Amino acid sequence: MSDDQRRISVDLSGQVALVTGASRGIGREIALGLGKCGAAVACVARSQGKLDEVVAEIKAAGGEAGGFVCDVADSEAVQKVFDAVVEAQERVDIVVNNAGITRDGLIPRMTDEDWDQVIATNLRSVFLLTRAATQVMMRQKTGRIINISSVSGLVGNPGQSNYSASKAGIIGFTQTVAREMASRKRKITVNAICPGFIATEMTDALGPALEDEVKKRIPAQRLGQAYEIADAVLYLASDSASYITGQVITLDGGLTA
């Protein structure tokens, strides 16, 4: 069964979505999924090459998309992207904060730079994008903010104190902003998704032997697929999820059960 056949079907026609970290892995699948469901997708990433490929793929499938090169930890750069999207589309309905990096190392040897880079890219970016998004969505009185956290933010992972801290921070941030945005006058939801081990370029770096060991820890005995995370995003972006907010949805094959 192909990925397209397995993808859930939601109608996002007329909506505008913005996805960070859209050039590869989970972010790429999310951007493609949103485009296939009818949303105009603003794809954001740090490098131009693969970003152009994602935009071209969405357009080739009949969708609408644009690419924005941006350091998502840079406040001014983030605001410029939002301003450009709103100027072109007059709204932003869905924001997916997916950008993330790792700089692994045990805490005694972790450098200031490794800590700061991960916190800035993984957590500060979520604050910046969400702040810009809520300003637009409050005027619209509607919107969906979906933050990609990680099971590492739930249980921790040795060698990833910076990454785990950033992803745990996303969870607390999500729940707080969800409460701030909840109102009978607004239809703005804010939720987080915690993927487990997902088959991407990052997990490819594990190598076959380590990957086999990881699979043994997962009750489902397999890695997740990026489109499975994208499917969860599509559901949370849909009208069917209008009463879901402040939630942390874990997709990990039972790893943290």
Residue 163 annotated as catalytic: yes
What amino acid is encoded at 8 in this protein? I
**DSSP characters over 131-161:** HHHHHHHHHHTEEEEEEE--THHHH--TT-H
Q: Are 25 and 34 in contact (CB under 8 A)?
A: no
* Helix, strand, or coil (residue 108): helix
What amino acid is encoded at 6 in this protein? R
Residue 93 CA, chain-centre distance (Å), reads: 15
* Helix, strand, or coil (residue 208): helix
Closest to 16 in 3D by CA, of 97, 89, 68: 89
Q: Choosing from 163, 227, 235, 243, which is the catalytic residue?
A: 163
Q: Which helix (H) or strand (E) holds 77?
A: helix 75-89
Closest to 93 in 3D by CA, of 39, 54, 37: 39
What amino acid is encoded at 55 in this protein? V
From the CB of residue 87, how many other CB atoms can be counted at a distance below 10 Å? 8
Give me the active site residues, please: 163
